[in-house]
């Protein structure tokens, strides 16, 4: 305000003195000042002598990037050798507010960046994305690729000083101020827009955000920041109190949310690991990009497996391994256990990690992997540091765990992993194990398991999640290699377990019956896991190129495929009944029938096993929901056989077809199972002693919803398409008409016996007529011919489906009228007459 007043006063004085300068004169007088200011500005951009910028007041940390703290600024000294070097940046939450479904230790962002020299003494930071590439450097195709893949510039920095050697002739490092980047909300080192949207984050609050600490180590630099954001609560979901996991209570209270982040900057390997060509017959995660070569006639998609780099320490060790001797790798895989993990569970988590050693022995390595307890009070180590792989323990009510990895996008080399472990995974484990094994394992018959049993369950999950971090995908087909009757064989189970892979979602052996004497119920590192690790981690010094290595691996895989237990079954097939979650055995109908017998043994005991004085019936409710959920899974496992297609990855040098239609007899067996176990009302599920404690209803609608869900799935449009496609090849294949006839015979079995029809069956029969009525005008459906083809829209109105459906409804209408005429039960007669009328209305709306 004072400056404003002086300026106004000066203007008045000049005016009162009668100054009559022209505009040109005033402009001429200003020019020297303008030029001087511009010159001064340019002078600022010129780097100063290193010693004048980094003086004795600097607190310096040496590392990948030397970091100098001066007052409140962090000056990064970028080595000349690091210019144009690709750097992986991984940003994680260090601390989070409670209740938002986000937890300290979780990954927030991951990007590759690089520093490069810019114009006028600047350093640019670019984000690097791998989409297309060319191996032909210096040739026209490589230039064409560069022209179509410019990396965005994240930031530009003035070079404050240049460190020089050799008498000032050689530039060895560039000093830049990165404080503004990390004090701001730069997306590369912060939350991406989707995460912000999910947390209702609005504007960044710069005055409440700052750099907390910067540390530099030999191969990485760590930046810890505090960021605050304004938030807008999700008013739609607000109830009298905020729901944990949906809203952030602290944000609702204050209108802002504060998180602490840690960004790791680690240079990608100077010598990239050799890529291992992905093979769909072995379940590894993969990375890919399009490759354009000078001599090619089309671009090729290069797909390669994601895995750790395991190499011998020297040529002598490599020779020993070649001769069959186990050797230690130059750099073993080490997973640290979060010190926040409850002490009594740590040894079980470590055991789950160490269990993988036997698999690496199959690949020629010893001591290749191990779990370690975190060395507390070591200032040189940080849980967020990208140099260390850590199993992070989250205080969360989420029933889950996950195993991600951070890998070099150029080659698939895994650099580190932070496994996420939620506390309430134990609740899920309790429910799974109780519902699937309590009929045969007395240790499972209680509300809270003893520490040894829970510890072994934790060990199993630890091994599974570590498998993901080794590059292994789910192998949902592994359990289908075990014959159902072998699941009841005590000796077989002790030797082989119920699935050949711990990467399956096979959970526990629910087939074994009390009289079988089986005592092994857990998945373990199995035959497939050992084979997959052998494929991914065997070292081939004799292979000079990726192509030669691929040839060796192909021969290994062809030989392995002679053993059904070594097959990989994808987690994403919509139509292969062998590839399912939560199932075991080679026949879902037989396995599920045994499973239901065990559920029928367990159900009457739930009240006793969940009871605790002074507590509500919430535990009983949870257990009962888990049991009915297991029953639903059995129905789903069976349903997938109908319209099913076996999809076994094959190559040109293997015998047999990749796609095979599920045999007609198996599909009929599946429909018979549904008619018997679900559509013939499973009244045993509706234990009225339990319902009286957890639900005011008596189960009529619950049964109806189960039946409706499966009926809709059985008669889904894409399944109808597969059945029509298959049956077009001959009567030896199951058809839509076969399916509808078999369903009708089961769902309307009372029509032949003239028996009375109870409320459950009346509900089901109405559901069936309604569903068939909808199929008269089925509309379009999205279908795909294989797991690798794009989905396409198909208009079912132009297929045989409406014709078959019309014929089925016409036949059913006649049977309903005939049965209604003979029925002596009033409600049954009215029901049959009503259904016949509904069908008439649908067939002839006029």
Tens digits of per-residue pLDDT, 745-789? 999 999 999 999 999 999 999 999 999 999 999 999 988 755 555
Does residue 65 sit in the same domain as residue 35? no
- In this prediction, residues 338-362 reach a mean pLDDT of 97
More confidently predicted of 169 and 75: 75
**What pLDDT score was predicted for residue 138?**
78
**What pLDDT score was predicted for residue 36?**
47
Decide if 421 contacts 340 (C-beta within 8 A): no
**What pLDDT score was predicted for residue 383?**
87
| Domain C-terminal end among 204, 239, 267 | 267
Does residue 73 sit in the same domain as residue 36? no
Binned at pLDDT 50, 70 and 90, residue 233 comes out as: low
Q: Of the candidates 521, 474, 481, 472, which has an alpha carbon nearest to the alpha carbon of residue 500? A: 481
**What pLDDT score was predicted for residue 377?**
84
| pLDDT (tens digit per residue) in 89-120 | 999 999 999 888 888 889 999 999 999 999 99
- In this prediction, residues 182-192 reach a mean pLDDT of 95
Kindly tell me if the per-residue pLDDT of 13 is higher than 70: no
Binned at pLDDT 50, 70 and 90, residue 332 comes out as: very high
- In this prediction, residues 474-490 reach a mean pLDDT of 97
Kindly tell me if the per-residue pLDDT of 243 is higher than 50: no
Burial of 170 (0-12, 13-18, 19+ CB in 10 A): exposed
Decide if 251 contacts 233 (C-beta within 8 A): yes
Binned at pLDDT 50, 70 and 90, residue 200 comes out as: confident
| Domain C-terminal end among 225, 240, 267 | 267
Does residue 23 sit in the same domain as residue 146? no
- In this prediction, residues 502-510 reach a mean pLDDT of 96
Q: Which of 41-45, 188-192, 292-296, 334-338 has the lowest mean pLDDT?
A: 41-45
- Domain-located, residue 357: no
- Domain-located, residue 564: no
**What pLDDT score was predicted for residue 807?**
97
Which residue do the tokens 């970028």 mark? 78
**What pLDDT score was predicted for residue 242?**
40
Question: Rounded distance, CA 366 to CA 358, Å?
Answer: 8
Question: Rounded distance, CA 306 to CA 395, Å?
Answer: 30
CA count, 13 A, side-chain hemisphere, 404: 14
Does residue 32 sit in the same domain as residue 91? no
Token output for 435: 């519902």
Does residue 156 sit in the same domain as residue 37? no
Kindly tell me if the per-residue pLDDT of 235 is higher than 60: no
Does residue 23 sit in the same domain as residue 86? no
Does residue 116 sit in the same domain as residue 212? yes
CA dihedral 756, 696, 620, 593 (to 10 degrees): 20
Does residue 39 sit in the same domain as residue 65? no
- In this prediction, residues 432-441 reach a mean pLDDT of 97
**What pLDDT score was predicted for residue 147?**
78
- Domain-located, residue 574: no
Kindly tell me if the per-residue pLDDT of 318 is higher than 70: yes
Which domain, by its residues, includes 133?
Answer: 50-267
- In this prediction, residues 473-484 reach a mean pLDDT of 97
- Domain-located, residue 827: no
DSSP result, 310-352:
--BSSHHHHHHHHTT--B-BSS-EEEEEPTTS-HHHHHHHHHH
Question: Rounded distance, CA 605 to CA 170, Å?
Answer: 81
Binned at pLDDT 50, 70 and 90, residue 245 comes out as: very low
Kindly tell me if the per-residue pLDDT of 253 is higher than 70: yes
- Domain-located, residue 103: yes
Kindly tell me if the per-residue pLDDT of 591 is higher than 50: yes
Binned at pLDDT 50, 70 and 90, residue 232 comes out as: confident
- Domain-located, residue 667: no
Kindly tell me if the per-residue pLDDT of 730 is higher than 80: yes
Decide if 340 contacts 393 (C-beta within 8 A): yes
- Domain-located, residue 335: no
Question: Rounded distance, CA 249 to CA 268, Å?
Answer: 40
Does residue 147 sit in the same domain as residue 101? yes
Question: Rounded distance, CA 702 to CA 707, Å?
Answer: 9
**What pLDDT score was predicted for residue 382?**
86
**What pLDDT score was predicted for residue 261?**
96
Collapse the DSSP code of 447 into the 3-class scheme (helix H, G, I; strand E, B; otherwise coil) and give the result: coil
- In this prediction, residues 591-611 reach a mean pLDDT of 97
**What pLDDT score was predicted for residue 98?**
84
Kindly tell me if the per-residue pLDDT of 488 is higher than 50: yes
Binned at pLDDT 50, 70 and 90, residue 364 comes out as: very high
More confidently predicted of 790 and 704: 704
- Domain-located, residue 193: yes
Average pLDDT of the chain is 90
Q: Of the candidates 353, 361, 370, which has an alpha carbon nearest to the alpha carbon of residue 459? A: 353
| pLDDT (tens digit per residue) in 36-77 | 444 444 445 789 999 999 999 999 999 999 999 999 899 999
Domain count, the chain: 2
Decide if 320 contacts 509 (C-beta within 8 A): no
Kindly tell me if the per-residue pLDDT of 629 is higher than 90: yes
**What pLDDT score was predicted for residue 17?**
39
**What pLDDT score was predicted for residue 141?**
74
Question: Rounded distance, CA 626 to CA 430, Å?
Answer: 10
- In this prediction, residues 730-740 reach a mean pLDDT of 97
**What pLDDT score was predicted for residue 139?**
79
| Domain C-terminal end among 267, 290, 306 | 267
Question: Rounded distance, CA 257 to CA 101, Å?
Answer: 13
Does residue 8 sit in the same domain as residue 130? no
Collapse the DSSP code of 578 into the 3-class scheme (helix H, G, I; strand E, B; otherwise coil) and give the result: coil
CA dihedral 823, 829, 835, 836 (to 10 degrees): 60
Does residue 66 sit in the same domain as residue 206? yes
Q: Which of 20-34, 164-178, 556-570, 641-655 has the lowest mean pLDDT?
A: 20-34
Does residue 236 sit in the same domain as residue 201? yes
Can you list the alpha helix ranges (DSSP code H) found in 128-282?
Answer: 140-147, 179-183, 193-198, 249-254
**What pLDDT score was predicted for residue 247?**
63
């Amino acid at each position: 305000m004072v400056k404003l007043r002086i300026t106004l006063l000066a203007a008045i004085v000049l005016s009162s003195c009668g100054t009559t300068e022209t505009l040109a004169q005033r402009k001429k007088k200003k020019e020297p000042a303008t030029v001087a200011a511009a010159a001064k500005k340019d002078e600022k951009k010129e780097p100063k002598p290193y010693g004048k910028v980094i003086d004795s007041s600097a607190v310096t940390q040496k590392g990948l990037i030397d970091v100098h703290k001066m007052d409140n600024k962090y000056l990064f000294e970028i080595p000349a050798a690091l210019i144009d070097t690709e750097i992986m940046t991984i940003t994680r939450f260090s601390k989070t507010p409670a209740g938002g479904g986000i937890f300290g230790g979780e990954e927030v962002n991951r990007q590759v960046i690089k520093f490069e020299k810019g114009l006028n003494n600047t350093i640019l930071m670019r984000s690097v994305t791998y989409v297309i590439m060319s191996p032909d450097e210096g040739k026209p195709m490589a230039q064409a690729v560069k022209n179509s893949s410019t990396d965005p510039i994240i930031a530009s920095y003035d070079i404050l000083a240049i460190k020089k050697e050799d008498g000032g002739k050689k530039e060895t490092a560039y000093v830049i101020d990165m404080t503004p980047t990390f004090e701001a909300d730069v997306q590369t080192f912060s939350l991406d827009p989707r995460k912000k949207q999910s947390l209702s984050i609005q504007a960044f609050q710069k005055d409440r955000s700052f750099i907390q600490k910067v540390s530099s180590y030999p191969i990485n630099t760590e930046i810890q920041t505090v960021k605050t954001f304004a938030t807008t609560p999700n008013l739609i979901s607000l109830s009298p109190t905020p729901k944990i996991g949906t809203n952030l209570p602290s944000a609702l209270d204050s209108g802002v949310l504060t998180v602490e982040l840690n960004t790791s900057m680690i240079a990608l390997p100077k010598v990239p690991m050799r890529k291992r060509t992905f093979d769909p017959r072995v379940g590894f995660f993969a990375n890919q990009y399009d490759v354009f070569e000078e001599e090619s006639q089309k671009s090729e998609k290069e797909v390669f497996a994601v895995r750790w780099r395991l190499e011998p320490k020297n040529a002598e060790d490599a020779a020993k391994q070649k001769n069959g001797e186990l050797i230690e790798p130059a750099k073993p895989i080490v997973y640290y256990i979060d010190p926040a993990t409850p002490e009594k569970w740590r040894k079980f988590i470590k055991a789950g990690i160490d269990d993988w050693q036997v698999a690496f022995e199959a690949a020629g390595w010893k001591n290749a992997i191990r779990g370690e307890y975190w060395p507390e009070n070591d200032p040189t180590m940080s849980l967020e540091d990208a140099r260390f792989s850590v199993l992070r323990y989250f205080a969360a009510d989420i029933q889950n765990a996950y195993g991600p990895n951070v890998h070099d996008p150029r080659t698939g080399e895994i650099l580190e992993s932070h496994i996420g472990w939620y506390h309430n995974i134990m609740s899920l484990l309790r429910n799974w194990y109780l519902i699937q094994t309590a009929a045969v394992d007395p240790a499972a018959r209680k509300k809270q398991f003893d520490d040894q049993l829970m510890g072994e369950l934790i060990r199993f999950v630890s091994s599974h999640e570590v498998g993901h971090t080794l590059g292994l995908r789910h192998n949902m087909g592994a359990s289908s290699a075990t014959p159902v009757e072998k699941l009841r064989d005590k000796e077989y189970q002790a030797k082989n377990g119920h699935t050949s892979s711990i990467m399956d979602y096979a959970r526990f052996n629910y087939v074994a019956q009390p009289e079988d004497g089986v005592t092994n119920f857990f998945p373990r590192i199995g035959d497939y896991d050992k084979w997959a690790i052998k494929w991914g981690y065997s070292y081939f010094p004799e292979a000079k190129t990726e192509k030669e290595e691929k040839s060796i691996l192909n021969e290994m895989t062809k030989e392995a495929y002679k053993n059904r237990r070594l097959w990989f079954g994808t987690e994403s097939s919509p139509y292969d009944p062998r590839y399912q979650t939560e199932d075991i055995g080679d026949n879902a109908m037989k396995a599920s029938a045994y499973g239901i017998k065990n559920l029928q043994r367990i159900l009457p005991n739930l009240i006793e096993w969940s009871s605790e004085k002074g507590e509500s019936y919430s535990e009983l409710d949870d257990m009962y929901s888990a049991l009915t959920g297991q029953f639903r899974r059995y129905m789903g496992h069976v349903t997938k056989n109908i319209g099913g297609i076996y999809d076994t990855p094959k190559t040109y040098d293997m015998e047999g077809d990749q796609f095979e239609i599920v045999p007609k007899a198996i599909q009929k067996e599946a429909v018979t199972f549904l008619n018997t176990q679900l559509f013939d009302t499973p009244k045993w599920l509706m234990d009225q002693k339990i319902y009286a404690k957890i639900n005011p209803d008596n189960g009529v609608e619950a049964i109806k919803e189960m039946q409706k869900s499966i009926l809709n799935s059985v008669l889904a449009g894409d399944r109808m398409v597969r059945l029509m496609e298959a049956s077009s090849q001959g009567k030896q294949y199951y058809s839509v008409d076969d399916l509808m006839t078999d369903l009708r015979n089961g769902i309307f079995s009372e029509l032949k016996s003239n028996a009375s029809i109870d409320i459950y069956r009346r509900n089901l029969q109405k559901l069936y007529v309604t569903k068939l009525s909808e199929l008269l005008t089925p509309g379009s459906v999205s279908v795909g011919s294989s797991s690798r083809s794009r989905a396409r829209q198909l208009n079912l109105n132009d297929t045989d489906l409406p014709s078959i459906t019309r014929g089925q409804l016409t036949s059913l209408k006649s049977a309903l009228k005939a049965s209604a005429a003979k029925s002596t039960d009033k409600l049954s007669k009215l029901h049959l007459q009503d259904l016949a009328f509904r069908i008439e209305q649908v067939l002839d709306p006029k």
